[in-house]
Amino acid sequence: MTKTIGELFDLSGKVAIVTGGAMGIGKGIALRLAEAGASVVIADLNLDAAMQTVAEMRAKGYKVKEAQADTSQVSDAEKTVQLALAAFGDLHILVNNAGIYPFASTLEMSERIWDKTLNVNLKGVMFFTQAATKAMVEKGHGGKIINIASVDGFHPTGNLISYDASKGGVVMMTKAIAKDLAPKHINVNAIAPGAIATPGAASGLTGISKEQIEALTKAFIATIPLGRQGEPDDIGRVALFLASEAADYITGTTIVADGGYLVG
């Protein structure tokens, strides 16, 4: 029986985890999933911010729960999944959104910056995916895993070497895991955002001045054919599509949401 548009995008009864879900892109994704009916765990290193987002979402009538999680720590992956199971009884959707992007040139790169970036951005995706997959398999159903990559996984911005390496890794890892998990009916896809305007964007850029950030942002917008930065909800809408039944025949792909930057 063919389902209606409303039925395809209805996530009622589904449970999702969004890492880095307290603000920015993660919050935009969490809001759309919750609006579609999903119960959402907002997992974030900043517990205060997560609690604030949960309070805002509960005021809208959404079913949400906060969790403090450091994606660089493998133990936090299992802890977060168990919290979701305890709070909502199941797990169907994982969004690996948490990430950091420290500026450093080749000559400035330190082992500390390199390891921290790849631990958060790449190792975190692997082991949160592993923990979520185990839960989905044990529950006897498939699921949807959505990784947040970046246009930097295809085209370097400059002086973001560890970030670019991690996001390129996310693109390829998405394909590899998708092939591995397809027999278990778990779809694995990625979204590669371009420049997204978020309150926390500037705070995530370390090793660069405010003036440099403003100049970089202005120059970057000039390269975007659609003429604007994206908003968190631009990515939230794509994530909703990938989490829904409308995307049931899509796996192992990366959807670029960049206002045309890569083709500019």
In angstroms, the CA 88 to CA 68 distance is: 17
62 in active site: no
Which DSSP state fits 158? S
Whole-number percent of the chain with pLDDT over 70: 96
pTM of the model as a whole:
0.94
Instruction: Quote the CATH superfamily of domain 5-259.
Output: NAD(P)-binding Rossmann-like Domain (3.40.50.720)
What pLDDT score does 208 carry?
A: 67
- DSSP string across 24-52: HHHHHHHHHHHHTT-EEEEEES-HHHHHH
Domain residue ranges in the chain:
5-259
What pLDDT score does 200 carry?
A: 59
Whole-number percent of the chain with pLDDT over 90: 88
Please identify which of the residues 62, 101, 163, 261 carries the catalytic annotation: 163
pLDDT tens-digit readout, 42-73: 999 999 999 999 999 999 999 999 999 999 99
Q: What is the per-residue burial (b if ≥16 Cβ within 10 Å, else e) of 226-254?
A: eeebbebbbbbebbbbbbbeebeeebbbb
